[in-house]
Chain A
Amino acid sequence: MTQTIALRAPTVDAPALPAAWPKRTARLVGLAAPAIKGAMPAGASVARTDQERRLVDLIGRIARHRERDAFVALFDHFAPRIKAYLVRLGSDDANAEELTQEVMLAVWRRAASFNPSLAAVSTWVFTIARNKRIDRLRRERRPEIEPDDPALVPEPETPADVALEAAQTGGRLRAAIADLPGEQQQLLLMAFFEDKSHSAIAAETRLPLGTVKSRIRLALIRLRGTLEST
């Protein structure tokens, strides 16, 4: 995978809203719908990778028995990656080290809330690391939904039916990311590892915003295709 993007400090003065929205009429079609229709049919299943099985097992042992050995194994797997993630996002070594500990402590404390039918372990750990970084380094709150919120509109299907391909396809997804054209990979990395919104990416790369959007959309279509092709 190409990693040619230079390290940069987090953008602190990024605009709160994009300067322009898509035309309202264009949105009448409903953007979310295609992704839902294209999702994997209920019941289709892919064997989990051995690694994913092992990670899920480790989280389960922490949740049920507070097993420290399981935690150490999980730490060995994720701590170097979390630290690298934070360094990519502009954190210095000492801060990244400290924040990695915070993330892993949250993993220990929240292990019981991990739901393997909704997310892969790496997805769950990513969201915790992402939110800690926003909280601590950008000093902003991160608004998140709460699963037991009385105002939450529930999923139309049972959770088992919508069980995410996410949990099952980590390895295939990684391969698909590696296969993306370099320019699409680069934009994904800028978005996830450099705190750059679509408009910030456009400003930095001097590409028109529409080009950034369409390249990222192309990447997402390819990755979704991977999730669906079983």
Chain B
Amino acid sequence: MPFHHPPEDVLFDYAAGSVREPLGLVVATHLALCPACRRQVRELETIGGALLEQLPGSPPRIAAIDALLGRLDEPEPAAPSSPAFDAETRRLVPAPLRAYLGASLKDIAWRPVTRGLAEHDLALAPPGVKTQLLRIRAGAAIPRHGHGGSEAVLVLDGGFSDELGTYARGDLALSDGTIVHRPVADADGDCLCLAVVEGGVRLAGPLGRLLNLFTRA
């Protein structure tokens, strides 16, 4: 069972429907791995249902029900077909996130960033935001860095630690502009994460500051 959960206000925004898609994806993927938060969201949705119940009615036009009755026997539009995922992908990647994958984990294009870190961008990118899978090699460290904006990282497999905690499958690590950290993947296996990153990262330390001049944050 996960230990690090989304903040209560984020679960609330998810239940109310005001959360944007990238963070919604992080929440839904966490929910698949966390019965406790699932229960909390159901409770919040109950409030939505109660508010819906007490809305003053705005009756649809009389013709509406007739038009609708005529459509009840229409064949249901086929759901978009999804690729046949391998067993590992179905075990590690919960359904809400799987829906964004074009192929199994071993077949998607991974872009090496450092020797220990590879990224795969998901086609879900409002301006200024990156939504990606991260794969950190067992025992590898991501160079110490700060953040230009907020970042949400959800562990899907393996685990990592940084100055602020230890994160395993289902755990959510949240960073914002105030946090500088050096995440290190657990030694006993690769770490797979879903990350939503806003505003890029800034490498810390003298060498990092130099490198920042050559990389686009």
Contact = CB atoms under 8 A, between A and B. Distances in A.
Interface of A: 1, 14-22, 24-25, 27-28, 30-33, 35-36, 39, 66, 68, 71-72, 75-76, 79-85, 87-88, 96-97, 100-101, 104-105, 108-109, 118-127, 129-131, 133-134, 140-146, 149-156, 162, 164, 166, 169-170, 173-174, 177-178, 188-189, 191-193, 195-198, 200, 213, 216-217, 220, 223-224, 227
Given A17-B150, A19-B176, A84 B94 contact: no
Given A197-B13, A224-B43, A83 B53 contact: no
B76 A109 contact: yes
19 contacts: A17-B129, A17-B196, A24-B164, A27-B5, A33-B36, A72-B69, A85-B52, A130-B48, A143-B99, A145-B28, A145-B96, A146-B95, A151-B32, A151-B92, A151-B94, A156-B1, A164-B46, A174-B54, A195-B17
Contacts of A15: 20, 198
B60 A16 contact: no
B61 A149 contact: no
B213 interface: no
Nearest to A201: B18
Contacts of B173: 24
A177 B68 contact: no
A119 B42 contact: yes
B115 interface: no
B140 interface: no
Give chain A's interface secondary structure class: helix
Interface in B94-138: 94-99, 124, 126, 128-129
A198 B175 contact: no
Given A19-B149, A72-B69, A97-B64, 19 more contacts: A16-B22, A17-B151, A17-B198, A18-B150, A20-B176, A25-B164, A27-B5, A31-B7, A82-B52, A84-B58, A125-B52, A140-B24, A143-B25, A143-B99, A144-B96, A150-B91, A174-B53, A191-B13, A223-B47
A28 B165 contact: yes
A197 B17 CA distance: 8
Residue among B10, B21, B48 having the largest count of chain A Cβ atoms under 10 Å: B48
B161 interface: no
A145 B32 contact: yes
Interface in B1-48: 1, 3-10, 12-13, 16-25, 27-29, 31-40, 42-48
A152 B95 contact: yes
Nearest to A27: B4
A196 B34 CA distance: 25
B1 A123 contact: no
A16 B18 contact: no
Contact of B39 (A16, A35, A220): A35
B19 to A, nearest CB: 6
A120 B49 contact: yes
Contact of B42 (A123, A125, A192): A123
A151 B95 contact: yes
Contacts of A126: 45, 48-49, 51-52
Contacts of A144: 28, 96
Given A149-B32, A191-B13, A16 B37 contact: no
A200 B19 CA distance: 10
B17 A83 contact: no
A90 to B, nearest CB: 12
Contacts of A227: 43, 46
Ranked 10 nearest A-B pairs via Cβ: A80-B57, A123-B49, A122-B49, A143-B28, A21-B174, A32-B36, A17-B150, A143-B96, A149-B95, A146-B95
A129 B44 CA distance: 15
Given A129-B52, A151-B32, A30 B20 contact: no
A170 B46 CA distance: 8
A107 to B, nearest CB: 10
B159 interface: no
B65 interface: yes
